Amino acid sequence: MAKISTKNLVLAIHEMTKDKSGHELDVAIQNITDYLAKKRMIPRAPEILRKLEELINFDEGIVKANITYKNIPEKKITDEIEEILMSRYGAKKILAVTNENENVLGGVKIEVGDEVIDLTLKNKINQLQNYLITN
């Protein structure tokens, strides 16, 4: 018996539920739940849901970003960062989660998927230090 990959399962669930609502969506979700239970895949549900959310966000042009500051700046600055991210990733919308971290000396750190954009003062100092040591 072949093992079903999470990626293929997520694609199938997405296709089964796409553009459905009401009773039709309820039936599709019940069928999915029954299948997962029958195949003993319920423990994989958190991973499946996370990947399904990523796929839906991708389809809808939504990008999730974690943005860390020492102190959260005024709305104008966060809006500008979101506009830059929308342009960079070709997104229609940015779901930004902003965090305060007292250990950040200054600047901003942005995480989008596997990419990290570290514009913190500590990172800049480390880059300068490495440059001075190697040259």
Counting every residue written for the chain, the total comes to 135
Q: Is residue 116 part of a domain?
A: yes
Look up residue 13 and give its two tokens. Answer: 């669930």
Cα–Cα distance for residue pair 10/5, rounded to 1 Å: 9
Mark whether 71 and 126 lie in a shared domain: yes
pLDDT tens sequence across 45-66: 999 999 999 899 989 999 999 9
pLDDT tens sequence across 6-47: 889 999 999 999 989 999 999 999 999 999 999 999 999 999
Residue with tokens 């966000």: 57
Q: Which residues pair with 109 in a beta bridge?
A: 68, 118
Residue 3: is its pLDDT beyond 90?
no
DSSP 61-95: TEEEEEEEESS---HHHHHHHHHHHHHHHT-SEEE
Mark whether 98 and 71 lie in a shared domain: yes
> Helices 22-38 and 6-17, interaxial angle, to 10°?
160
Q: Are 65 and 94 in contact (CB under 8 A)?
A: yes
For 26, the domain range is 6-52
Cα-based angle 27, 30, 36 (whole degrees, multiple of 5): 145
Q: Is residue 1 part of a domain?
A: no
Mark whether 30 and 80 lie in a shared domain: no
Residue 134: is its pLDDT beyond 80?
yes
Mark whether 70 and 128 lie in a shared domain: yes
Mark whether 73 and 126 lie in a shared domain: yes
